[in-house]
Structure 1
Amino acid sequence: MTKTMRTLLGGLLLAAATVGAWWAWLGWESGYTVDPETGATSGPYAVWQVAAAVLTLIVIAAVGGWFWTPWLVAPVMTVTFTAVWAVRAASTDASGLWAVGAALVPIGTAIGATVVSGAAAWLRRRGGAPAR
């Protein structure tokens, strides 16, 4: 397999895994919760859902960094996660505040994916595993 084909396949796998992580933990949630005593509204995600999504993305970035370069992992994961998150948020938020999230999600995703995939790539090189 050529390096170009390997990179293309890697990008597609990373994108699919990133969409899968979003769907598994966040994609199915559609409602807000109202506390009957205080009237406070929260949601649409519970803390455990976001934590699980972040942990799943960490695993994807680590595996991606081990097999591919962080220069592939970080942009693919950032663009993919932001796109699926923003499309859903824009379609369910009447307030327009989804745009703030759409500006913040790529920042966190890019930083996290870069750090985690970079660490995995560094560990692969340091451990003597063959470069791919």
Structure 2
Amino acid sequence: MSGRRLVTRIYRALAGGVVLALLTASCWWGWMAWDQGYHTDPVTGVTGGPYQAWQVIGCVVCLVVLGVLATGRLPWWLVLVIMPLSFTAAWSWTAAGADSSGLWGVGAVLVFVGMLAGTGLVTGLTTVVRSRRRRAG
């Protein structure tokens, strides 16, 4: 591979990584960061929240689609690094500002571990499916 092609690949990966980080953080901001209130069911009196099920489902679906698309354009290991870090950073920014107990750090670790597991599953499955399609085609 020539030096020029290598530099082009590096710039594309860098630009793709920045876009992926922004889009991943946007999943948090767009689906969940704006809703911080708890909700009480008028019939049962049970309090839940702060997020509704549709928000979590929407966020997860967007993250899965983003992970699949990103793994098609970037190396899987780069997607596995960027998505958990950027989502956790966006979550932490919101949580740290609203938490007076200091427990947001525990939440950040849990969010990171969950994102790492989910992103690992998505990138792993996407990589396997793509490699099988290449072999078959």
TM-score bucket of the superposed structures, by smaller chain? 0.7 to 0.9
SS at match of 1:30: coil
Inter-CA distance 127–6: structure 2 relative to 1 (3 Å threshold): same
Which deviates the most, 95-104 or 70-79?
95-104
Q: Does 1:119 align with 2:119?
A: no
Tell me the residue number matched to 1:42.
Answer: 48
What runs of 5+ residues in structure 2 fail to find an aligned partner? none
Q: Does 1:68 align with 2:74?
A: yes
> After TM superposition, what 4+ stretches of structure 1 lie above 4 angstroms from structure 2?
35-40
Tell me the residue number matched to 2:65.
Answer: 59
Tell me the residue number matched to 2:16.
Answer: 10
CA distance in 2, matches of 1:97, 1:40: 24
Tell me the residue number matched to 1:77.
Answer: 83
Counterparts of 1:76-95 in structure 2, within 5 Å, are 76-95=82-101
Amino acid corresponding to residue 123 of structure 1 in structure 2 = V
How many residue pairs match? The answer is 129
SS at match of 1:128: helix
Tell me the residue number matched to 1:104.
Answer: 110
Deviation digits for residues 53-81 of structure 1 (CA, Å, limit 9, x no counterpart): 11111111111111111110011001000
CA distance in 2, matches of 1:23, 1:82: 11
Tell me the residue number matched to 2:29.
Answer: 23
TM-score scaled by length of structure 1: 0.85
What runs of 5+ residues in structure 1 fail to find an aligned partner? none
Identity of aligned residues (%): 42
CA distance in 2, matches of 1:128, 1:11: 24
Query: Which structure has the highest helix share of the two?
Result: 2
CA distance in 1, matches of 2:45, 2:72: 47
SS at match of 1:127: helix
CA RMSD of superposed structures (Å): 2.1
CA distance in 2, matches of 1:93, 1:49: 21
Inter-CA distance 78–49: structure 2 relative to 1 (3 Å threshold): same
TM-score scaled by length of structure 2: 0.82
Q: Larger Rg: 1 or 2? A: 2
Inter-CA distance 37–119: structure 2 relative to 1 (3 Å threshold): closer
